[in-house]
Amino acid sequence: MPRFLQGWLADVIRFSQQRPEVYKTRQRPIYSLKRNIMVKKSEGKNPIIAEFKRKSPSGLNVNSDIIEYVKFMEANDVAGISVLTEEKFFGGSYTDLERVAENVSVPVLMKDFVVTEKQINTAYSLGADAVLLIVRILTERELISLYKYAKSYKLDVIVEVTNEEEVEIALRNNFDIIGVNSRDLSSLDLSLEKAERLLKLIPSDRIKIAESGIRTRDDIHRLKNAGADAFLIGTTLMQDPNKIKELI
């Protein structure tokens, strides 16, 4: 771990480091999330990555049918599906990832606190097309190593940033997809203003994904004006899946 982490974040990293690898023969082709985002943009749509999660440290707690949810999102032309696979704090599982990959033909992101190559092996084996790497929880050396490892599987990699220092790390390593999280991972505070500021620091030749706190079409408009290419939306859609119709 790169710096002093405490509270739930330190716990989730320890848990992730100890998680066993799951190996199966991959059953589906790789669908490019990056390519699909650009396709949706060219069609004049808001490229949305719809996230499935049962709970979160920020207070979400729902009991939706995962397959019904992801099929509904696919039918409403999302750019991709994000599946929370972290168990302790988000109620996810690798089984969730596998089931989603078996039931949709859009790109699937394994959303987790990835700190080991074992987790990337599992993501690929179970059908994920993309993984998330969080700058906050990795040293720069670890980040680069895991990025290259995921790319060796031809997976897309979203590198998540939450402040200016992390943006600088992402830019100097030429990462092609950068996720800007409006939520502070330690305090859990949300700030779309911060996200707007960070998005404007990232050149237009990168794919920029706005994450967290997106509730309305106005929020999307704000973030798009700041440079966002796509929008990862979880809590809003978990609480009301039909919102996808107005957001897309």
| The one catalytic residue among 86, 98, 160, 166 | 160
The reply to whether 74 belongs to the active site is no
Dihedral sign from CA coordinates of 160, 110, 220, 106: positive
| The one catalytic residue among 40, 46, 51, 125 | 51
33 close to 81: Cβ distance less than 8 angstroms: no
The reply to whether 151 belongs to the active site is no
The reply to whether 86 belongs to the active site is no
The reply to whether 212 belongs to the active site is yes
Which helix (H) or strand (E) element contains residue 239? Answer: helix 235-239
Angle at 42 between CA 234 and CA 245, to 5 degrees: 40
The single residue listed with the structure tokens 């998680």 is: 19
233 close to 51: Cβ distance less than 8 angstroms: yes
Q: What crossing angle do the helices spanning 192-199 and 217-225 adopt, rounded to 10°?
A: 30
**Structure-block tokens of residue 222:** 């704000």
The reply to whether 117 belongs to the active site is no
The reply to whether 87 belongs to the active site is no
53 close to 64: Cβ distance less than 8 angstroms: no
Q: How far apart are CA 210 and CA 225, in angstroms?
A: 12
| The one catalytic residue among 36, 56, 82, 212 | 212
Q: How far apart are CA 128 and CA 126, in angstroms?
A: 6
| The one catalytic residue among 16, 181, 182, 208 | 181
160 close to 134: Cβ distance less than 8 angstroms: yes
**Total count of residues recorded for the chain:** 248
The reply to whether 61 belongs to the active site is no
| The one catalytic residue among 34, 40, 111, 208 | 111
143 close to 135: Cβ distance less than 8 angstroms: yes
Q: Which residues are catalytic?
A: 51, 53, 111, 160, 181, 211-212
